[in-house]
Amino acid sequence: MSYDFGSPSPIQPLSLGNVVSAGLRLYRSHLKDYFLLALKAYVWLLVPVYGWAKFYALSALISRLAFGELVNQPESMTSAQRFVNSRLWQFFVTMLLMFLLSVGIGVGAFILFIIFGFLSSVLLGGIGQQGNTSAYAVLSLLIIVVSIVGLVAVLWLLTRFFLVDVPLAIEDNVDGTSTIGRSWELTQGYFWRVFLILFVAFLITIPIQVIVQIITTIIQLVFTSLLEQDSFVFRLIFFLLVMALSFVSGALILPFWQTIKAVVYYDLRSRREGLGLKLRDHEI
């Protein structure tokens, strides 16, 4: 499906607050539909490989539907699903590439950690012999700085790859490989902006996570004495309850993140490409 992104009077890009509030409005006004899609996606996770691709595709489908609402070109569920399903294995390719990329980054970070640890131990050995307390302070400061740099690097990468599934679900000339580069291109130069949006969005999801944790703790307390009986039936019921709770809580949070992705995608395209689209004047 192809949209006409041209307009003679493009609006100004959204402010950070407008991005989050637009995501919230979309989430609230379409909660039932998005929740059911997300719940369906989580159930598909139980099926290896094909189900994982379906999870990724259904998640991206929420972003596609949300983006259609943003640009005042709402799409039917059937039409959107048809488009996303036609790229099902491209979503799997994206998921696989991102997994391999994450493994590569993790291995690289582990190697650097080993090297840094080795150098630190050698340095500490020399310092211990000399009894130089100031050198200990310098080394401690270096460890703190390296840790902060490592954390920022991880957050930077997560931010740059935040949108990888969205272009694949929306744009025509994108495949499972190029969608990764598309996310990298759109977020170029907007790390702090996207990071702040994600941080605020994370804070909004905390109450749901706290409620889920409380309910999980209550279930564990209720089943504690029953589980001590080493009964397969009780263990199975406990497992199913916890899994169902995880799926439901995930299905509540996932649509919110996918709508935030849709608004961030819209905002970055407006900023980078002058996307001449207009948000609905009425409440979404």
5 inside domain: no
Residue range 74-104, pLDDT digits in tens: 999 999 999 999 999 999 999 999 999 999 8
The CB density around residue 253, as the number of other CB atoms within 10 Å, is 18
Residue range 98-124, pLDDT digits in tens: 999 999 888 887 887 787 777 667 666
284 inside domain: no
Rounded to two decimals, the pTM is 0.83
Mean pLDDT to the nearest integer, 266-278: 74
Which residues, 6+ apart, have CB-to-CB distance to 90 below 8 Å?
168, 175, 176, 179
Distance CA 9, CA 4 (A): 14
11 inside domain: no
Domains of the chain: total: 1
- Comparison of pLDDT for 232 and 13, the residue scoring more: 232
pLDDT at 53: 94
Instruction: With a cut of 60, say whether residue 276 has pLDDT above it.
Output: no
Instruction: Indicate the average pLDDT of the chain.
Output: 83
Mean pLDDT to the nearest integer, 147-152: 84
Mean pLDDT to the nearest integer, 203-217: 86
101 inside domain: yes
CA distances from 68 to 4, 26, 284 (A): 12, 11, 11
Nearest to 172 by CA among 86, 58, 53, 282: 86
Instruction: With a cut of 50, say whether residue 165 has pLDDT above it.
Output: yes
- Percent of the chain exceeding pLDDT 70 equals 82
pLDDT at 116: 73
279 inside domain: no
Longest dimension (CA), the chain: 73
Instruction: With a cut of 50, say whether residue 279 has pLDDT above it.
Output: no
Q: Contact 279/42 with Cβ under 8 angstroms?
A: no
- Comparison of pLDDT for 260 and 217, the residue scoring more: 260
- Percent of the chain exceeding pLDDT 90 equals 51
27 inside domain: yes
| Residues spanned by the domain of 77 | 16-273
Mean pLDDT to the nearest integer, 62-73: 92
6 inside domain: no
Query: Tokens 């490409």 identify what position?
Result: 273
129 inside domain: yes
Q: Contact 91/176 with Cβ under 8 angstroms?
A: yes
